A and B are shown apart, each in its own frame.
Chain A
Amino acid sequence: MDISITNEGTTSIARLMGEIDANTARSIADSVIPLASEPGHIIIDMSGVTVMSSSGLRLLLTLYREVDSNDSEQNIVLCGLSDSIQDTMNVTGFLNFFQVYNSVEDALSALGN
């Protein structure tokens, strides 16, 4: 699992590449959770994610809860979900917590507004 973090203005973009499962969830959390204490929104770019397990679903929800527990206007959104991962997240209810966009560009313009 590769994680790269870039910035666009105050918005952080965390690009995940590979599998999100029990083994990789911790390192993702370690990289992304600190972003919740910085100002600015967070975009999780999932376009490189190939597999998502039960732990993966829970990792994403944990990230959401970290952001949600701040009193700020900060949002965390997802983009680039494959059809099958989006479907899995939908039927298990985990998708309900997130705004979802097709691409980083779409997410940036939505958050810019």
Chain B
Amino acid sequence: MQNRIDVYPTHTYGDYKLRKGHAVPFGASVVSGGVNFSIYSRHATSCSVVLFERGAEDPFIEIPFFKEFRIGNVFMMIVFGLDTENIEYGFRMDGPFDPVEGHRFDKEKILLDPYASVITGRDKWLDDPKWDNIFPYRGLIVPNDFDWEDDQPLNTPIEDLVIYEMHVRSFTKDDSAEVTHPGTFAGIIEKIPYLKKLGINCVELMPIFEFDEYEHSRPNPETGELLVNYWGYSTLGFFAPKAGYAATGALGMQSDELKNLVKELHKNGIEVILDVVYNHTAEGNELGPTISFRGIDNKTYYMLTPEGYYWNFSGTGNTLNCNNPIVRNMVLHSLRYWAEYYHIDGFRFDLASILGRDPNGYPLHNPPLLETLAFDPILAKCKLIAEAWDAGGLYQVGSFPAYGRWAEWNGKYRDDVRDWLRGSTTVGALSQRLQGSPDTYPERGPTASINFITCHDGFTLNDLVSYNEKHNFANGEDNNDGGNDNHSWNHGWEGPTDDSEINALRQRQIKNGLALMMVSRGVPMILMGDEVARTKNGNNNTYCHDNYLNWFDWTLTDNNDDMLRFAQHIIAFRHAHPVLRGKEHFRNEDYMGTGYADITWHGTEPWQADWSEQSKAIAFMLDGKHAKEGSVIDDSIYIAINTHYEGLWFGIPQLPVDAFWHVSTNTGVEAPNDIYTIGTEPPLSNQEGILVGPRSIVILVGR
């Protein structure tokens, strides 16, 4: 094959040979003999590439984009002869400073490339930075090739997922994890056997795009410990993985390390969903630092008020202007990049309602960005999950613009199930949540519903049943931060207690929560550590803690092994029974002609549910021959749920003549008899009924 004729230098600047470059791809890419630099700015009057030797304080050259090195609003040039492994790069732009018009150019600043695929500056977590660095977050040029062998995104049907929400550093940072590289992508690999045994088949990683853990850092007023930007919901760059989460971050190999993690997880049947934060950036409002977007084209990238201030629908200072066509493309490019080059299986969008607002902040009926993402060919098999609200008053659970593709974090599931556990909601509400919320998603089906009780925001499952109030003093904000609407109940004492009855009841309630999620139609998501009853001491907003409050304590896998066994069992139970994992809503009819409708409701009497406001008991039966819309045959399953403070006798529906009810799970019984291994369930001695203990759940299989 002949060489291209457009690969020869045409210009010189100092010692460097240059040529007009290619507009796409944006960012820095290696081409024949050199590096192509390309960046958009509509309002900049000039731009230059600023190059540093690796680790140097000052640049060794700044090369201006010649007038001819442009097309439209894109600056592009090829610089020949660069030692790409040994340079760091950025851009310097000049333009108007006229905030009312939306312009905040600052030619004193060197700007991070929005498309940088690897960022240096926070290479090791909480490493001492040079605070007077003239350019603190710099782009690197790193190969994006990787040998995936035959790895593919797993395309597990969403209704078959059990999602585990995890923070990369928290998972293995504690000494008790005993991994070679604590708090890193590599550390997670060492714990894959644990994840497999737990039975989850999908990890949702809290933000892994590069962020600055030092942002808003301050000492804890009580302990003096440094409070930091721990969770990472504050993006520096949408194409770069966090160096500080990689054992090889200091070598700039975080990209390879994360890809290897995805490859290993896939080999073990585990999908990877990324928690992505396209609703704002780390630059804050007009008082915040100019790192990238503000100095490149403020008017394009941010939603601005008529006076030139920053709309703050994220609650963090600024709002990314997602439906602007340039920004919309950046978001799309970013997602496509992770899907294609990192084999990511899906994305959960933080404060996703922002993605449906127009440049002035108004909610759009048909938001171009959401439509684009729903129909994009490269993202077509990725899971798209929305946190369907924002901090500006939009709440769209049930009404998020879905285009038949988006799922949602079902806040109603969380609140109704929490209320059920503490006896303050109706069987009617619970029954909707158990069925995949047909009241909320009548057209979209149960796969729109991510069923969760806990997540990183709010209490852990243990704390949900141990505290009535939040206890966030450790955050240094006088306990004013964090939600107040926790739907929690401490069962008689606030926090830790020696009272064995209260403790037993709390453990039972945790098991009840796990069981309800695993038997609900829809997609269950559990919080890292709930399987071992992890506590955060009642703190419901641990966003700033780099310590035991967030770190997974691996001694709990021994000390709380009964809870872990229960969690493993109930997750395995869901995987073993396709009748629990339907994709469509129940039809409430016997469309397979078995003598039983797909779902039937019962109370303490079979076939007679008590739907009254005071009812504290409900049961349902799933007919095994209606599993997966009748396409597979499963056991029948009967689930009795008693939230009364006393035990109740439940009469059970009769099975056909040749089948019998067997006991799988009974949260009202102490371990080890709370669970029976799948396939070894003992037959119920009295096939007519069963005593369900106070605040307990019993699961029977009929075969």
Q: In the complex, what residue of chain A is closest to B143 when comparing beta carbons?
A: A54
Q: Are A57 and B85 in contact (CB under 8 A)?
A: no
Q: Are A93 and B259 in contact (CB under 8 A)?
A: yes
Q: Which of A52-81 contact B (CB under 8 A)?
A: 53-55, 57-58, 61
Which of A54, A61, A88, A91 makes the CB contact (< 8 A) with B85? A54
Q: In the complex, what residue of chain B is closest to A52 when comparing beta carbons?
A: B251
Q: Within the assembled complex, what's the spacing in Å between the Cα atoms of A21 and B253?
A: 13
Q: Which of B90-146 contact A (CB under 8 A)?
A: 142-143, 145-146
Q: What is the interface of chain A, defined by CB distance below 8 A to chain B?
A: 21-23, 53-55, 57-58, 61, 87-88, 91-94, 97
Which of A22, A91, A93 makes the CB contact (< 8 A) with B247? A91
Q: Are A91 and B147 in contact (CB under 8 A)?
A: no
Contacts of A91 in B (CB 8 A): 181, 184-186, 189, 246-248, 257, 260
Which of A21, A23, A54, A97 makes the CB contact (< 8 A) with B256? A54
Q: Within the assembled complex, what's the spacing in Å between the Cα atoms of A22 and B259?
A: 21
Q: Is B405 an interface residue (CB 8 A)?
A: no
Q: What is the interface of chain B, defined by CB distance below 8 A to chain A?
A: 83-85, 142-143, 145-147, 180-181, 184-186, 189, 246-248, 251-253, 256-257, 259-260, 263-264
Q: Within the assembled complex, what's the spacing in Å between the Cα atoms of A93 and B186?
A: 10
Q: In the complex, what residue of chain A is closest to B184 when comparing beta carbons?
A: A91
**How far is the CB of A46 from the nearest CB of chain B, in Å?**
16
Q: Within the assembled complex, what's the spacing in Å between the Cα atoms of A22 and B247?
A: 22
Contacts of A61 in B (CB 8 A): 147
Q: Are A58 and B143 in contact (CB under 8 A)?
A: yes
Contacts of B252 in A (CB 8 A): 54
Q: Within the assembled complex, what's the spacing in Å between the Cα atoms of A91 and B264?
A: 11
Q: Within the assembled complex, what's the spacing in Å between the Cα atoms of A87 and B250?
A: 13
Q: Within the assembled complex, what's the spacing in Å between the Cα atoms of A94 and B263?
A: 12
Q: In the complex, what residue of chain B is closest to A58 when comparing beta carbons?
A: B143
**How far is the CB of B208 from the nearest CB of chain A, in Å?**
16
Contacts of B85 in A (CB 8 A): 21-23, 53-55
Q: Which 9 A-B pairs have the closest CB atoms?
A: A93-B260, A92-B256, A91-B186, A22-B85, A91-B247, A91-B257, A92-B257, A92-B260, A92-B253
Q: Within the assembled complex, what's the spacing in Å between the Cα atoms of A23 and B86?
A: 10
- When A53-B251, A54-B253 are in contact, do A93 and B83 touch as well, CB less than 8 Å? no
Q: In the complex, what residue of chain A is closest to B258 when comparing beta carbons?
A: A92
Q: Are A23 and B83 in contact (CB under 8 A)?
A: yes
Q: Are A93 and B84 in contact (CB under 8 A)?
A: no
Q: Within the assembled complex, what's the spacing in Å between the Cα atoms of A57 and B143?
A: 11
- Knowing that A54-B85, A91-B248, A93-B146 touch, tell me 14 more A-B residue pairs with CB under 8 angstroms: A21-B85, A23-B83, A23-B85, A54-B142, A54-B143, A58-B143, A87-B180, A91-B185, A92-B248, A93-B256, A93-B263, A94-B147, A94-B256, A97-B147
**How far is the CB of B251 from the nearest CB of chain A, in Å?**
7
**How far is the CB of B31 from the nearest CB of chain A, in Å?**
15
Contacts of B264 in A (CB 8 A): 93
Q: Within the assembled complex, what's the spacing in Å between the Cα atoms of A89 and B147?
A: 13
Q: In the complex, what residue of chain A is closest to B146 when comparing beta carbons?
A: A93
Q: Could you list some 18 contacts between A and B, CB below 8 A?
A: A21-B85, A23-B83, A23-B85, A53-B251, A55-B85, A55-B143, A61-B147, A87-B180, A88-B248, A91-B185, A91-B186, A91-B246, A92-B256, A92-B257, A92-B260, A93-B256, A93-B264, A94-B147
Q: Are B83 and A57 in contact (CB under 8 A)?
A: no
**How far is the CB of A20 from the nearest CB of chain B, in Å?**
11
Which of A22, A58, A88, A94 makes the CB contact (< 8 A) with B251? A88
Contacts of B83 in A (CB 8 A): 22-23
Contacts of A94 in B (CB 8 A): 147, 256
Q: In the complex, what residue of chain B is closest to A91 when comparing beta carbons?
A: B186
Q: Within the assembled complex, what's the spacing in Å between the Cα atoms of A61 and B145?
A: 11
Contacts of A87 in B (CB 8 A): 180, 247
Contacts of B146 in A (CB 8 A): 93
Contacts of B184 in A (CB 8 A): 91
Q: Are A57 and B180 in contact (CB under 8 A)?
A: no
Q: Within the assembled complex, what's the spacing in Å between the Cα atoms of A4 and B253?
A: 28
Contacts of A93 in B (CB 8 A): 146-147, 256, 259-260, 263-264
**How far is the CB of A81 from the nearest CB of chain B, in Å?**
15
Q: Are B84 and A22 in contact (CB under 8 A)?
A: yes
**Chain B CB within 10 Å — which of A23, A88, A92, A97 has the most?**
A92
Contacts of A21 in B (CB 8 A): 85
- When A91-B181, A91-B186, A91-B247 are in contact, do A57 and B256 touch as well, CB less than 8 Å? yes
**How far is the CB of A38 from the nearest CB of chain B, in Å?**
25
**How far is the CB of A59 from the nearest CB of chain B, in Å?**
11
Q: Within the assembled complex, what's the spacing in Å between the Cα atoms of A97 and B253?
A: 18
Q: Within the assembled complex, what's the spacing in Å between the Cα atoms of A94 and B145?
A: 12
Contacts of B246 in A (CB 8 A): 91
Q: Within the assembled complex, what's the spacing in Å between the Cα atoms of A42 and B77?
A: 42
Contacts of B248 in A (CB 8 A): 88, 91-92
Q: In the complex, what residue of chain B is closest to A92 when comparing beta carbons?
A: B256
Contacts of B180 in A (CB 8 A): 87
Contacts of B259 in A (CB 8 A): 93
Q: Within the assembled complex, what's the spacing in Å between the Cα atoms of A87 and B253?
A: 12
**How far is the CB of B390 from the nearest CB of chain A, in Å?**
37
Q: Within the assembled complex, what's the spacing in Å between the Cα atoms of A98 and B639?
A: 52
Q: Within the assembled complex, what's the spacing in Å between the Cα atoms of A59 and B450?
A: 44
Q: Within the assembled complex, what's the spacing in Å between the Cα atoms of A93 and B248?
A: 12
Q: In the complex, what residue of chain B is closest to A57 when comparing beta carbons?
A: B256
Contacts of A57 in B (CB 8 A): 253, 256
Q: Within the assembled complex, what's the spacing in Å between the Cα atoms of A55 and B253?
A: 11
Contacts of A55 in B (CB 8 A): 85, 143
